[in-house]
Amino acid sequence: MHYDVIVVGAGPAGLYASRELAKNGKRVLCVDKKQEIGVPKQCGEGLSLRYFKELDIKVDKKYCTQEINGACLYTPSEKVVDIDFGKISGYILERKSFEKELAKEAALAGAEIRVMSPVVDVKRENGKVRVKTAGLFTEENTCDLIFACDGPQSFTAGKLGLNVQLDSYDIDSGFQYEIAGIDYEKYKIKRNMLHIYFGNEIAKRGYVWIFPKGESANVGIGIGANVKGSAREYLNTWIKGKEMFKGTSIIEVNSGVIPVGGLLDALHDDNLLVCGDAARQVNPVHGGGIGSAMEAANIAVQVAEKAFKKKDFSKEVLKEYTETWYKGTGAKFKKLIKVRHMLEQFTDADFETLGKAITGEDVMVIAEGELPKAAAIVSKKLLTNPGLLKIMLKYFKS
Ligand SMILES: Cc1cc2nc3c(=O)[nH]c(=O)nc-3n(C[C@H](O)[C@H](O)[C@H](O)COP(=O)(O)OP(=O)(O)OC[C@H]3O[C@@H](n4cnc5c(N)ncnc54)[C@H](O)[C@@H]3O)c2cc1C
C-alpha cells in the first residue's frame, strides 16, 4: 500500500504528527512496536501549560492528573529555592491516557495506527521509501515521506543515512517509581509544585524528582549514563533516607534513557524528517521532551505540507525544518547545553552557595536559556557574592 506519510513511533512526536498530517488530508500510517500506546510510560509526565496552548491540546481531566504552579529546588542540605508562578504553569499527565487520546484524535482525523508492528527495514527506492514491518502487521508499504519519531538512536533515521550514535556522555539514565501512600500534608510536600533535589551524592550529573500526581507521585532520577553506579541504586539510597516514604507502596516502575546533549546537525534528509527524542529534541537542563517533541513535529508537518505542494521531497526542500527548529528551540537548547555542562561540574558546596545567592525568578530566566538576561543577573550577584564568583571562575577556567 502507498501512503503519503509513514510515521515510525507512536509517542508524543509521532502521534502529534499523525494527527496534524491526517487533519491536513494526508494519507498517514503510524506504526509502533509497542503492544499498547503509552505503555510503558518511561516518563515523569510533567508538561508545561504553554504546549497545550500553542499546540491545540485540550486540558482534559482524563489525563491532566495534577495542576502544577511551579517548582521547589532543593540544595544537598535541603535549602529550598521556590519558583512559584502563582498560577497553573503545567500538569502532571497520566501519559498513557494522554497518548491514547492523541491516538484517537489522529485516528478520527483519518490516520491508520498500528501497534505491535516494529519497523524492521527501511530503504529509499525510486524517490519513495519502502518500509517493512513485522509482528501484527507483517508487510511492506511505501510512502513519499517518512517521519522518524522512534525515540533515541532512531533505527529509521540511522537506516536512512543519518548518524544517530549517541555518546554516553550525552545521555541520562532515568529510573522512576510511581509511589502511592505519601502523606503530603504531614511531610509538607506541596502537591502543586515539582520537587527537584540536587547534589552529587543524590544524583551525579542530574537530579531526583518528586512529581505529585493526585494521590500518588512519580519519584524518579536522571543521572549521567557514564556515571559509576546505576540510577536505580542512587534512587533507592535516596528514598531509603527519607522518612516520607516509610510504609508507602510502589505501584509502577519505569526506566529509560534521555538524550540530553549532542544535538543532531541535520534533522532531515531526502524523504526524511526526524522528530522528538529521535532528533534529541530534549531540554538539556531538565530533560523534558514531551512538549518539545510535539512542537518539533508541528514544524515538520508544516514543512511537509510545502513539500507535498511542490511534490518535492528532497533534502533541499526539507531542510527548512532543520533551519526553522534551529532558529527557535534549537538555538535555546544549544545555550542550555552550556548551562548543563556548568551544572555538571558543581560540587555540593557550589549548589549550597547558589541556593543562597539566587531566587526562583533568577532560575526561571537562566532555565529559559535567555543568556543576556542570565548574564546580567549573574554579574549583579557576582559583585555581592564572592562564593559565586569563585564558582564562575572555576567553571570558565575549565
Ligand atoms: C525516566 C524519564 C522521565 C522523563 N520525564 C519527563 C517529564 O516529566 N516530562 C517530559 O516532558 N519529558 C520527560 N521525559 C522525556 C520524554 O519521555 C521523551 O522526551 C518523550 O517521550 C519523547 O517523545 P517521542 O515521541 O520523541 O519518543 P518516545 O516517547 O520514546 O516514542 C518513540 C516510540 O517509537 C517506538 N519505536 C521505537 N523503535 C521502533 C521501531 N523500530 N518500530 C516501530 N516503533 C518503534 C517506541 O516504541 C515508542 O513508542 C522523561 C524520560 C525518561 C526516560
What is the tens place of the pLDDT at every residue in 238-254? 999 999 999 999 999 99
Determine whether the shortest distance from the Cβ of 9 to ligand 1 is under 6 A.
Answer: yes
| 355 confidence band (pLDDT: 50, 70, 90) | confident
Tell how far the Cα of 372 is from the centroid of ligand 1, in angstroms.
Answer: 32
Probe ligand 1: pick from 43, 100, 117, max atoms within 8 Å of CB?
43
| % of the chain beyond a pLDDT of 70 | 91
What element of type H or E holds 212? Answer: strand 207-213
Pairing, β 70-74 against β 193-197? parallel
What is the arithmetic mean of pLDDT over 360-388? Answer: 65
Mean of pLDDT over the chain? 92
What atom in ligand 1 is closest to the CA of residue 175? 1
The string of pLDDT tens digits covering residues 46-61 is: 999 999 999 999 999 9
Residue for grid cell 485516528: 107
Answer yes or no: CATH 3.50.50.60 is held by domain 2-45+94-166+263-327.
Answer: yes
| 370 confidence band (pLDDT: 50, 70, 90) | low
Among protein residues, the one whose CA lies closest to atom 29 of ligand 1: 11
Residue for grid cell 500534608: 185
From residue 46, alpha-carbon distances to 134, 146, 194, 219, 345 in Å are 33, 28, 9, 12, 26
Q: How far apart are CA 259 and CA 167, in angstroms?
A: 9
The string of pLDDT tens digits covering residues 379-396 is: 666 666 666 666 666 666
Pairing, β 272-274 against β 268-269? antiparallel
**Size of the chain in residues:** 398
| 342 confidence band (pLDDT: 50, 70, 90) | confident
Among protein residues, the one whose CA lies closest to atom 19 of ligand 1: 289
Given the cut 0.90, state whether the ipTM is greater than it.
Answer: yes
CA angle 63–69–71, rounded 5-degree value: 105
Tell how far the Cα of 82 is from the centroid of ligand 1, in angstroms.
Answer: 29
Determine whether the shortest distance from the Cβ of 288 to ligand 1 is under 6 A.
Answer: yes
Domain ranges of the chain: 2-45+94-166+263-327, 168-259, 336-397
User: Is the peptide bond between 40 and the residue preceding it cis, with omega within 30 degrees of 0?
Assistant: yes
* pLDDT(368) > 80: no
Tell how far the Cα of 238 is from the centroid of ligand 1, in angstroms.
Answer: 25
* pLDDT(369) > 60: no
What is the arithmetic mean of pLDDT over 291-295? Answer: 98
Tell how far the Cα of 11 is from the centroid of ligand 1, in angstroms.
Answer: 6
Answer yes or no: CATH 3.30.9.10 is held by domain 168-259.
Answer: yes
The string of pLDDT tens digits covering residues 141-179 is: 999 999 999 999 999 999 999 999 888 889 999 999 999
Determine whether the shortest distance from the Cβ of 76 to ligand 1 is under 6 A.
Answer: no
State residue 318's pLDDT score: 98
What atom in ligand 1 is closest to the CA of residue 156? 41
Contact 38, 61 (CB under 8 A): no
State residue 164's pLDDT score: 92
The string of pLDDT tens digits covering residues 262-275 is: 899 999 999 999 99
Three-state secondary structure call for residue 284: coil
Residue for grid cell 511531610: 187
Tell how far the Cα of 151 is from the centroid of ligand 1, in angstroms.
Answer: 6
More confident residue, 125 or 376: 125
Distance of CA 247 to the CA centre of its chain: 31
Q: How far apart are CA 309 and CA 14, in angstroms?
A: 22
What atom in ligand 1 is closest to the CA of residue 282? 19
Among protein residues, the one whose CA lies closest to atom 50 of ligand 1: 43
Contact 248, 330 (CB under 8 A): no
The string of pLDDT tens digits covering residues 59-78 is: 999 999 999 999 999 999 99
Probe ligand 1: pick from 147, 290, 298, max atoms within 8 Å of CB?
290
Q: Which amino acid is at 367?
A: A
